[in-house]
Amino acid sequence: MRKESDKILIVGGDRRFDAAEDVLKSKGYSVSRITDEKGAEKELNEADVLLLPLPYTADGVTVYQPDGKGPIPLSAVLRSLRPGKTVLCGKADAELRSAAEKNGAVLLDYNAEEDFAVKNAVPTAEGAIAIALDMLPVTLNGSRVLILGFGRIGRLLAAYLRGFGAAVTVAARKPSDLAFAEAYGYEGVPFSRLAEAVKEKEAIFNTVPAPVLTQEVLTGVSRDAVLIDLASKPGGIDRQAASVLGLNAVRALSLPGKTAPVSAGRYVAETVMRFLSGTEGDG
């Protein structure tokens, strides 16, 4: 889609984008970066490709950049959009999409790519295990663990936990997911038997973004258990009920950037390079 000679500008971002910059440069791309407003306008105008962070903004006003030198106003980015410019962005919202469209710029959301999501499931699963290792007073080896959901993250969690010699149970809705779980050697239980499945588990990992660990189900959870909620948005644990029951529940979000920023940055770079080389994606 784009020539390799195009100028890429990384706008703001966290540690992941240090790594993304390194990878892109090592692959021969022409990359520069701005971390404050100084000279931003000129750079934004001259760049062929803008690489925005993930998320591209946290406050709706400036580009996301937790440790940057100074704020970069979103308005400066929007002003620079024009035909021939490509914006690569994580979690594009309606506002950014319409601004790009209005100005004839191409907008691509790397966070919406299936392979990017699969790659990020790795540090998410590893981060969840790091939390479990920290919180559990027992070893993962020999523990009975329950994983809710058998999608990208659930599958990797199951594999990694089994590597420790944990006894892994997977709760899933689809019969084919349950069949897959058992084909890998895990115990599979349908969600209809969740209230029973949570019993006598040392650790419970939720990956389902729906209220699955309800008050009723939580009453069966051991007081010694650790509950780790990896599901986005509303999460899957009734936090209030967990608190009343005295359960040990934590919410773990955005793990890739926290536990493995260099890997997470590489994933950004790899998806960006796929976009720029025009290789077809998962579609």
Of the listed pieces 5-13, 45-53, 89-97, 133-141, which binds a second copy according to CB under 8 A? 133-141
Nearest to 189 by CA among 201, 207, 171, 209: 171
**Alpha carbon 110 to chain centroid, angstroms:** 11
Residue 112 CB, shortest distance to a second copy, in Å, is 12
Task: List, edge to edge, every strand of the sheet that includes 203-206.
Answer: 187-190, 167-172, 144-148, 203-206, 226-229, 248-251
- Phi-psi region for residue 265, left (φ > 0), alpha (ψ -120 to 50) or beta? alpha
Check if the beta carbon of residue 175 is closer than 8 Å to that of residue 241: no
Does the footprint of a second copy cover residue 117 (CB under 8 A)? yes
Does the footprint of a second copy cover residue 210 (CB under 8 A)? no
Does the footprint of a second copy cover residue 278 (CB under 8 A)? no
**Which CB sits closer to a second copy, 104 or 163?**
163
Nearest to 59 by CA among 73, 48, 69: 73
Residues between 147 and 176 with contacts to a second copy, criterion CB under 8 A: 152, 155-156, 159-160, 162-167, 174-176
Of the listed pieces 6-14, 44-52, 75-83, 261-269, which binds a second copy according to CB under 8 A? 261-269
Which of 8, 121, 212, 231 is the binder for a second copy (CB under 8 A)? 121
Maximum Cα–Cα distance for the chain, whole Å?
62
Check if the beta carbon of residue 188 is closer than 8 Å to that of residue 179: yes
Does the footprint of a second copy cover residue 92 (CB under 8 A)? no
Nearest to 271 by CA among 120, 163, 68: 120
Does the footprint of a second copy cover residue 126 (CB under 8 A)? yes
Q: Give the binding site for a second copy (CB under 8 A).
A: 15, 19, 113-119, 121-123, 126-127, 129-130, 133-134, 136-142, 152, 155-156, 159-160, 162-167, 174-176, 178-180, 182-186, 259-263, 274, 279, 281-282
